[in-house]
Chain A
């Protein structure tokens, strides 16, 4: 047992660090740390730089362009990238539909869709949740009826992240209404330019626009866009959500937030002294830091278990719960450290190109919106209640 990075791992860390330093501009880094909004171009620029280096889809099988990294290399990469101020990747192609296609799709479908993900030329979004199907995903109602060589799709998806930028959507639809809900679900790939697809923005309470409603009105989808087999969609979705949970601990991102929080606590004052010298506040930072150190080790243990088989499902659920609580705790403290200066609402200040003077320091404008926004993390990806249910089921049935 050894907590130190090996010589190879250190060399890899240095390679990632140099790449990030050469790729991420100081402006982009400052934007990331100060919680300003990344543009579509920020994200695509970063993803395409990674694609040129061959690092955009490292977890894919090598024959499909993966990197054959150890789990620890994935972690090193993630931490270095976030620490350097990288934007978050759009995971819908890279970590969600990509691996599903590799595992389950026909060769033609792989050939058609994998290169667009690898080169970051096609933006994907996820059509799972519906107004009546959130935590209870299997109760979805969007219907696909086969007519000749097409499906006719009708229904509504919601909470569709970044659908406003998306070229394609992978959707769960109902193809057999007469059986057990999970058994009648099919996965279809739908071109967002198809007639009958309409995207309507949902504004969230932080003033941002990440999620959307997607309406599907008699959308004609060629049968070639069926993933795998009809009525097997639930199996693919479970495979996909299992992958989603792998990255959900977000240790690297939380480390970046912790570093930022500490730097602000040195600047901001209480009682004429820096907040770092306020014992109450110092304790609150320490508590979240200890939680993060623990999460990091839980994550490492899980990654270690993955090198020799599949880790227990309940531990992935635990990572999701603790990881999101830490993200929420960090954004909450980052708002609290600012005191009265978290109050001005200056959404324009979060957008690039805003040059007018802001009220308060530059790092203040994004703090409260980030806290409000991060409440989503215990709701999405299977709410933390659903995660607890998974753990309870797993351990109580053992």
Chain B
């Protein structure tokens, strides 16, 4: 057993961390969100991050979910809203082994997997795929599709056969940006991401994977591992912010950090972050495994712990800051919102607890 990061992994973390320190302060972020655009996604691509987990044959670096976790943790720390998770992580996970020219190296992807009424169950697929000459056409609707408005390609799940909630009979398809019959209603999410609802009305699509459930299930675990790492970065950052605030803010003639009741709250936050970091590391090491049971269990365990930690850390960060934590001008509230939404993305605590039980 070896729990040390490799020299390459340390370099990856350091260079990304340095880039974000220079280009993604909270003030920078505010500016990017107001402008609705930034060159950050392009810079991340130039750093090779979009090709991180592609094989060397596909022009990538042959990385794995531990590498992805390193990147996501740093992105979480800086509250990056650019769609690395919603495009690169989810895209390369779904296109495992055969990315074609769909993902990586400047190509942007969206994954349309969630349906109204399906909640977090990606096997809930009412969207239909039917034969159309040599290809297929897709009819149906997907919701909360990250990066929906900007993607060059939309990866979509659609039912080839079987009943609404069957795992069998789900196909994975690719639809190009300008395909006729595809309409997207875009919106910003509570935490500043771009997403949208996508309707498919007889849209021409290419079949990528015919019996796609194993692919979807593995991608779901890899995405959850990545989002757990993002949460760890965000939690660590907002805990540090809270610690500094308690050390600075004076009430009753002394710093808040001298009140034991508040010290213990801060310590509980730190314990939660440390737990989340430990189990998320394990999830990242197992997220690429083909032992489905062990992978599902470990990732769900991590997500349960991360959801619990994110709730405690997010809520207490606001509480310990007091009024200033409630304002839009201050970073704590933005961490809280992102952490809250992470707990409601790709399965919430209850969902993962159920899956862990089996």
What is A's interface to B at a CB cutoff of 8 Å? 129, 132, 134-136, 139, 158-159, 202-205, 207, 211, 268-272, 278, 280-281, 335-336, 339-346, 357, 359-360, 368-369, 371-372, 375-376, 378-380, 383-385, 388
Contact = CB atoms under 8 A, between A and B. Distances in A.
B13 interface: no
A359 B251 contact: no
A359 B344 contact: no
Contact of B190 (A270, A345, A384): A345
Contacts of A335: 340, 344
Contact of B250 (A132, A203, A357, A383): A132
B112 to A, nearest CB: 12
Q: Chain B contact residues: over half helix, strand or loop, or mixed?
A: mixed
B187 A346 contact: yes
Contacts of B165: 271-272
A134 B251 contact: yes
Contacts of B350: 278, 280-281
Interface in B244-262: 250-253, 261-262
B315 interface: yes
Nearest to A135: B251
A359 B143 contact: yes
Given A280-B354, A339-B120, A346-B187, A202 B340 contact: no
B83 interface: no
Interface stretch (B61-69, B171-179, B324-332): B324-332
B204 interface: no
B190 A342 contact: yes
Contacts, number: 134
Contacts of B185: 357, 359
Given A205-B326, A343-B345, 12 more contacts: A159-B323, A203-B327, A271-B165, A281-B350, A339-B348, A343-B189, A344-B189, A368-B337, A369-B190, A372-B190, A375-B319, A379-B323
A376 B326 contact: yes
A204 B334 CA distance: 10
A84 B348 CA distance: 33
A344 B326 contact: no
B189 A345 contact: yes
Contacts of B253: 136, 139
Interface of B: 114, 116-117, 119-121, 124, 143-144, 164-165, 185, 187-192, 195-197, 250-253, 261-262, 315, 318-319, 322-323, 325-329, 333-334, 336-337, 340-341, 344-345, 348, 350-351, 353-354
Contacts of B326: 204-205, 211, 375-376, 379
A319 to B, nearest CB: 19
B119 A339 contact: yes
B319 A340 contact: no
Given A272-B165, A344-B189, A203 B322 contact: no
30 contacts: A134-B323, A136-B251, A136-B252, A159-B323, A202-B329, A205-B328, A205-B334, A207-B328, A211-B326, A269-B119, A272-B124, A272-B164, A272-B165, A335-B340, A336-B348, A342-B344, A343-B189, A343-B195, A343-B345, A344-B195, A345-B190, A345-B192, A359-B187, A368-B340, A371-B340, A372-B333, A378-B319, A379-B325, A380-B323, A383-B319
Contacts of B325: 375, 379
